Amino acid sequence: MKPKKITRRDWMIRTATGVAAGAVSMPTLLAQQTAPPGSVQQLAVPAGAQQVPGPVEPPTPQDANRDARMEWWHEAQFGMFIHWGLYSQVGRHEWAFENEAFPMTEYEPLAKTFKPRPMAARQWARVARGTGMKYMVMTTKHHEGFCNFDSKLTNYCAMQQGPGRDLVREYVDAARAEGMRVGFYYSLMDWHHPDGANCLTDPAARDRFVEYTHGLIRELMTNYGKIDVLWYDVHWPLDVDGWQSVKMNEMVFGLQPDIIVNNRNGLPGDFSTPEQTIVAATGGRAWETCMTLNDSWGYQRADDNWKSPATVIRNLITCARDGGNYLLNVGPRPDGVVPEDSVHVLEQVGQWMKRNGETVLGTDLCQPRTSNYASFTRKGNTLYMHVHFWPGDYVAISGLQVGVKSAKMHASGETVAFTQDKFRVKLTGLPEEAPDNPVTTIEIECDDVPTQDTLMVRKEKPRDGVGYSG
Ligand code: GLC
């Protein structure tokens, strides 16, 4: 049978334009993504039965070249988020200013005492590359209002305060030196600017504050060369009209024609931003899950609730399987150093990625998802079975709808024996102990795009009537 390849790009295009895809129905895939594993709904939508409607928004000039602009991003799949600012000195989460109701007189002096070590960002970029990440997104200004960059519009900025230098410039240089794509996080909400809250009710304040905001974004889009991602955050207290978000994006694209923007200035932008949860966007929308490595974005000294390398890898696999990106956060200490515990986790992820990265990054949308101990990714007709909980001896896949041609351990290349009938693929002769750590990847070459149907197994697997006495 002729292999049918559904690339990540095809997926975005086909679901957005409503053209059914070849062997695998995209609506079926979507239905399966949103249903609990093994549930009836998971396979309830017949192939080609209906189309999932795309978001209904007036077209923007950026719609026309979105695929081209986002190609690198869909390939990249794994990025580093960096939350760093005055709050890092407090060491109690980036919301300390508001959630502890710091008086301004106690918080503002942190701008003077913020004295990070030179070129701290070099370590971030090295760690990102070592982890297998392809892009970075740094907080240029968080809700606290302090600009980590050099601004002509405020003296509440790194150049004119404690650091005495442009921390965003250092970040951009460091990221580029390690071959990382460069992203800027920018919070529209501002707890420091005098008009940051009363702009909701005072039109003159709104005019001033919106002009200030557009001005800061203009500086960011003008002074640092090519920027790959603009990551807006929290548009409180204004709406799209209040912020003049359409004009904002027009200015951004005027200065950076190839940039990608997210959806947090109230407009749909180029991608959705599920936070701390992995939920695929529908309607062909691009999406990126952002997630903390412990429970805080900004440095929180006592937060030791670190995700294990196994959890990080599994999350990355889940994002890749469903066509999304994974933006994983680090919160450097006030001196700029990424906490040792974070580095330790990321190093282990990076070691695994060196052996297995190509089975996750640059992969295609993957429909098979049901297993009690493994998750899946796919490239063309190759199915990667990532075994998280190694059962020993053999592993099995239920309801695979294509023929298996061969199987091997991905890291060692060792051939894996298998048997296949209508219901089960059984990979046999496996060692008792997991050959790779923390996740073992088995590469399964199929004769077509692999899909899985466990409901068929439930309905059709012969029932031998054991115990039937009628
Ligand atoms: C939330 C938080 C913010 C964090 C962001 C990351 O919006 O307010 O602190 O920067 O999520 O997605």
The Å distance, Cα 122 to ligand 1 centre, comes to: 24
Q: What is the per-residue pLDDT across 286-303, written as a single tens digit (0 to 9) for each?
A: 999 999 999 999 999 999
The Å distance, Cα 75 to ligand 1 centre, comes to: 25
Please work out whether the CB of residue 295 comes within 6 Å of at least one atom of ligand 1. Answer: no
Instruction: For a ligand 1 pocket test, name from 139, 233, 326 the mutation site with the most ligand atoms within 8 angstroms of its C-beta.
Output: 233
Structure tokens at 287: 């999406």
Q: Which atom of ligand 1 is nearest the CA belonging to 95? A: 9
Q: What is the per-residue pLDDT across 42-61, written as a single tens digit (0 to 9) for each?
A: 322 333 333 444 555 678 88
Question: What pLDDT does residue 282 have?
Answer: 94
Where b means 16+ CB within 10 Å and e means fewer, 425-452 reads bebeebeeebbbebbbbbbbebebbbbb
Please work out whether the CB of residue 228 comes within 6 Å of at least one atom of ligand 1. Answer: no
Please work out whether the CB of residue 233 comes within 6 Å of at least one atom of ligand 1. Answer: yes
Q: What is the per-residue pLDDT across 67-77, written as a single tens digit (0 to 9) for each?
A: 999 999 999 99
Q: What is the per-residue pLDDT across 411-438, written as a single tens digit (0 to 9) for each?
A: 999 999 999 999 999 999 999 999 999 9
Residue 236 has pLDDT above 90, yes or no: yes
Residue with tokens 């440095």: 299
Work out whether strand 382-387 and strand 374-379 pair parallel, antiparallel, or are unpaired: antiparallel
Please work out whether the CB of residue 234 comes within 6 Å of at least one atom of ligand 1. Answer: yes
Question: What pLDDT does residue 60 have?
Answer: 83
Question: What pLDDT does residue 4 have?
Answer: 34
Please work out whether the CB of residue 94 comes within 6 Å of at least one atom of ligand 1. Answer: yes
The Å distance, Cα 233 to ligand 1 centre, comes to: 7
In 3-state terms, the chain is what percent helix, strand and coil (to 5)?
A: 35, 20, 45
Peptide bond into 61 cis (omega under 30): no
Question: What pLDDT does residue 49 have?
Answer: 34
Question: What pLDDT does residue 139 have?
Answer: 99
Residue identifier of the C-alpha nearest atom 10 of ligand 1: 297
Q: How far apart are CA 454 and CA 36, in angstroms?
A: 13
Please work out whether the CB of residue 170 comes within 6 Å of at least one atom of ligand 1. Answer: no
Question: What pLDDT does residue 59 have?
Answer: 82
**Cβ-contact 328, 137 below 8 angstroms:** no
Structure tokens at 362: 């640059």
Where does 61-359 sit in CATH, by number? Answer: 3.20.20.80
Q: Residue ranges per domain, the chain?
A: 8-23+364-460, 61-359
Structure tokens at 419: 């048997």
Strand-pair partners of 446: 404
Please work out whether the CB of residue 393 comes within 6 Å of at least one atom of ligand 1. Answer: no
- CATH topology (fold) of 8-23+364-460: Immunoglobulin-like (2.60.40)
The Å distance, Cα 24 to ligand 1 centre, comes to: 36
Question: What pLDDT does residue 19 have?
Answer: 26
